[in-house]
Amino acid sequence: MEKRELLYEGKAKKIFKTDNQDILWVYYKDDATAFNNQKRGQIKNKGVINNKITNYFMNFLEKNKVSTHFIKEISDRETFVKRLEIIPLEVIVRNVVAGSFSKRYGICEGEMLKKSTIEFSYKNDELGDPFISEYSAVALELASEKEIEVVKKLSFEINDLLKGHLKIFNIKLVDFKLEFGKVKNGEIILGDEVSPDTCRFWDIKTHEKLDKDRFRNDLGNVEDAYNEILNRLKI
Ligand code: TMP
């Protein structure tokens, strides 16, 4: 496969075209941002770690009959993925109160939710990815009602699979963000990444944070936390 021009550069990844129009070349950077780019930095080796962790989870999900964009890891920081028509929604699944949910509803971090919940953000950097209801997403034609139903079903399935799997490694899956897209035949599959950048991982007993919150909130030992996830998963 040949690498062609840069298609898109995001905050954490670069996406290149290839000589096959259905396949993209992803490069994971060490750059870290938070609060819609207001806080910037680098996390040493993050690109390598997130590439490996994402591919580990994508493989795990595929084995459990969830379709993803993953094709093949090319190098420490690079992976081939299927080209998708991205649905411009960030899908957030929450099991435990944390982050913006804790602030918005005035509930302490760590409280277990009676039932897992899903929220949507409109994927738009200029607007700072604002919260959006399912109805507004349909009204703005970001996705159809049917597509949203599929996305919700897949997201809860992925939550059950990941939550159960992570428990084996004494990791609590607090919340996470997913992105979906469509392949040529219209099938909706999982895209983007599943990593400590996009998930909240806590030690099951101590609730020590092992994710990007260490960077967002200047908690220190950021690299150690990312490495800890890699090591616990034995990747
Ligand atoms: P939040 O509590 O800040 O809304 O974040 C919820 C989850 O979504 C958390 O696991 C981090 C993840 N997330 C992203 O992956 N990208 C983002 O831009 C934001 C704001 C959150």
The response to whether residue 200 sits with its C-beta less than 6 Å from ligand 1 reads yes
Mean pLDDT of the chain: 98
DSSP 3-state assignment of 119?
strand
Q: Where are the domains of the chain?
A: 3-82, 85-232
Region 196-221: mean pLDDT is 98
| 3-82: CATH number | 3.30.200.20
Ligand 1 atom at minimal distance to the Cα of residue 197:
15
Region 11-40: mean pLDDT is 97
pLDDT at residue 114 in the model: 98
The response to whether residue 12 sits with its C-beta less than 6 Å from ligand 1 reads no
Summarised one tens digit per residue, pLDDT across range 91-128 is 999 999 999 999 999 999 999 999 999 999 999 999 99
| Residue 196 identity | P
pLDDT at residue 181 in the model: 98
The response to whether residue 92 sits with its C-beta less than 6 Å from ligand 1 reads yes
pLDDT at residue 40 in the model: 98
The response to whether residue 101 sits with its C-beta less than 6 Å from ligand 1 reads yes
pLDDT at residue 234 in the model: 97
Which burial class, exposed, middle or buried, applies to 224 when counting CB atoms under 10 A from its CB (0-12, 13-18, 19+)? exposed
The response to whether residue 176 sits with its C-beta less than 6 Å from ligand 1 reads yes
Region 66-75: mean pLDDT is 98
The response to whether residue 175 sits with its C-beta less than 6 Å from ligand 1 reads yes
Domains 3-82 and 85-232 share a fold: no
pLDDT at residue 178 in the model: 99
Summarised one tens digit per residue, pLDDT across range 139-194 is 999 999 999 999 999 999 999 999 999 999 999 999 999 999 999 999 999 999 99
Which of 111, 126, 198, 199 is the best mutation target for the ligand 1 pocket, counting ligand atoms within 8 Å of the beta carbon and taking the most?
Answer: 198
pLDDT at residue 88 in the model: 98
Residue with tokens 């009602």: 145
Which of 31, 92, 214 is the best mutation target for the ligand 1 pocket, counting ligand atoms within 8 Å of the beta carbon and taking the most?
Answer: 92
Which burial class, exposed, middle or buried, applies to 2 when counting CB atoms under 10 A from its CB (0-12, 13-18, 19+)? exposed
Region 196-216: mean pLDDT is 98
Which of 100, 162, 175, 177 is the best mutation target for the ligand 1 pocket, counting ligand atoms within 8 Å of the beta carbon and taking the most?
Answer: 177
pLDDT at residue 233 in the model: 98
What is the whole-number distance in angstroms between the Cα of residue 141 and the centre of ligand 1? 23
CA 209, distance to chain mean position in Å, is 17
Alpha-carbon gap, residue 20 to 177, rounded angstroms: 28
Element of type H or E holding 52: helix 46-63
Measuring from atom 4 of ligand 1, which residue has the nearest CA?
Answer: 100
Domain at 85-232, CATH class: alpha beta
What is the whole-number distance in angstroms between the Cα of residue 52 and the centre of ligand 1? 20
Confidence of residue 218 (pLDDT cuts 50, 70, 90): very high
Summarised one tens digit per residue, pLDDT across range 8-20 is 999 999 999 999 9
Region 131-145: mean pLDDT is 98
